């Protein structure tokens, strides 16, 4: 494994930083962890890294010892002990110097011989209907020693929204000693709104502020230069993508292709918005559109004095994803002067027949 160390507030000269791993007292550890043992779980000899001129990041490489024995989570600490200038080989008390904070990292070893195990979700993708309940498994493999907790959460990562399309999860699951599987579920809401397919994620993480490594792991993340790291003991299958099937929309789902359009007296003074039809294409559909101010309030200059058209319709033929015409936007020629006038206008699809 590798522990990163940062050089800040300067990068002149070549310096050598030394650190050493050491054992922790059992009364400073969580109940499911035990102190790692020097020379059995980790080497306890001092090791050094060199920062060459201009270099600001280096890594201490520690080879964790594989003792072939099953055990609980094991914890030790790694402490920066000194920094010296290569030019003089003398301890430099002023510059360079060790920081007064964040010079110790606490590291938790996840046993790989039938120890605490690793965690994953099964399945990793699921398709469900509105009004249903999805049941899935949280699995623990490679060992089931001790009690350990994992955090299960839903994430609004796609088009689906928690509270509207599904019931949110934010739950701490505890695997007791010997437990290798827990069943969980998420409820899908039937909102009766015409919608296309939507999706969201269920994720699994470890609620801890310590580095969690297996015997071949490399530290992957350091948060805010503080004295702890996070590397989850999770298999790659640590998220579940849930796809909610299209519902209540036999005629399809309609949306703008163009996200925005800019009009100006200086040009262009006109443009078009294209609407697309997705999911289903059955039947002839007429869409009514309307232009409104973004704040929905009345204004001194009504849109009817700025735009040629502020409402209208477009039609979609049967089995067609495109309409027979687009929404046309055009400023009224020689109309109200737009000097010092800049407003955002929404074009809304307000009705479907």
Task: Please spell the DSSP secondary structure of 12-67, one letter per residue.
Answer: -S-EEEEEEEEE--GGGS-TTEEEPPBTTTB--S-EEEEE-TT--EEEEE------
Read off the tokens for 225.
Answer: 């230069």
pLDDT, residue 182, reads: 95
pLDDT, residue 227, reads: 28
Alpha-carbon distance of 319 to 351, in angstroms, equals 19
The residues, any chain, with a CB within 8 Å of residue 58's CB and separated by 6 or more, are: 4, 5, 7, 17, 49, 50, 51
Instruction: Please determine whether the domains at 2-109 and 118-207+233-244 fall in the same fold group of CATH.
Output: yes
> Could you report the average pLDDT of every consecutive run of 10 residues in the chain (353 residues)?
83 90 85 81 91 88 71 80 74 68 80 66 91 92 77 85 92 86 94 79 68 34 28 62 77 79 74 82 84 70 81 87 85 62 72 78
Which of 23, 108, 122, 105 lies closest to 72 in space, CA to CA?
108
Give the pTM. Answer: 0.43
The residues, any chain, with a CB within 8 Å of residue 8's CB and separated by 6 or more, are: 56, 99, 225
Alpha-carbon distance of 236 to 181, in angstroms, equals 17
pLDDT, residue 85, reads: 86
Phi, psi at 229, each rounded to 5°: -130, 165
Alpha-carbon distance of 153 to 239, in angstroms, equals 10
β-bridge partners, 11: none
Alpha-carbon distance of 60 to 15, in angstroms, equals 14
Do the beta carbons of residue 213 and residue 231 sit within 8 Å?
yes
Q: Which residue has the tokens 């089931």?
A: 144
CATH superfamily of 2-109: CalX-beta domain (2.60.40.2030)
- Kindly report the CATH number that applies to the domain delimited by 253-352: 2.60.40
Phi, psi at 201, each rounded to 5°: -115, 145
Locate the domains of the chain by residue range.
2-109, 118-207+233-244, 253-352
pLDDT, residue 204, reads: 86
Phi, psi at 154, each rounded to 5°: -100, 150
Do the beta carbons of residue 227 and residue 102 sit within 8 Å?
yes
CATH superfamily of 118-207+233-244: CalX-beta domain (2.60.40.2030)
Read off the tokens for 281.
Answer: 């294409």
């Amino acid at each position: 494994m590798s522990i990163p160390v940062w050089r800040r507030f300067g990068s002149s000269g070549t310096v050598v930083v030394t650190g050493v791993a050491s054992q922790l007292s059992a009364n400073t550890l969580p109940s499911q962890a035990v102190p790692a043992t020097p020379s059995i779980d980790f080497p306890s000899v001092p090791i050094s890294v060199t920062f060459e001129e201009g270099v600001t990041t280096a890594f201490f490489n520690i080879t964790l010892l594989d003792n072939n024995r099953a055990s609980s989570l094991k914890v030790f600490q790694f402490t920066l002990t000194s920094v010296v200038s290569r030019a003089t080989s003398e301890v430099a008390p002023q510059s360079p110097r060790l920081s007064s904070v964040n010079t110790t990292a606490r590291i938790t070893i996840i046993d790989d011989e039938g120890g605490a195990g690793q965690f994953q979700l099964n399945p990793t993708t699921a398709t469900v209907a509105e009004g249903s309940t999805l049941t899935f498994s949280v699995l623990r493999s490679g060992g089931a020693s001790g009690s350990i907790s994992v955090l299960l959460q839903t994430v609004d990562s796609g088009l689906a929204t928690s509270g509207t399309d599904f019931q949110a999860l934010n739950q701490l699951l505890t695997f007791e000693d010997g437990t290798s599987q827990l069943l969980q579920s998420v409820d899908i809401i039937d909102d009766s709104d015409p919608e296309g397919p939507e999706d969201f994620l269920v994720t699994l993480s470890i609620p801890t502020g310590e580095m969690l490594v297996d015997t071949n792991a490399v530290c992957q993340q350091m948060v805010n230069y503080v004295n702890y790291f996070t590397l989850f003991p999770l298999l790659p299958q640590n998220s579940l993508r849930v796809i909610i099937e299209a519902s209540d929309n036999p005629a399809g789902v309609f949306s703008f292709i163009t996200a925005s359009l800019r009009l100006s007296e200086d040009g262009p003074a006109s443009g078009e918005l294209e609407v697309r039809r997705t999911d289903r294409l059955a039947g002839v559909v007429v869409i009514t559109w309307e232009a409104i101010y973004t704040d929905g309030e009345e204004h001194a200059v009504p849109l009817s004095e700025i735009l040629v058209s502020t409402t209208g319709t477009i039609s979609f033929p049967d089995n067609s994803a495109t309409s027979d015409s687009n929404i046309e936007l055009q400023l009224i020629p020689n109309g109200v002067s737009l000097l010092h006038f800049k407003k955002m206008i929404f074009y809304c699809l307000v009705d479907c027949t």
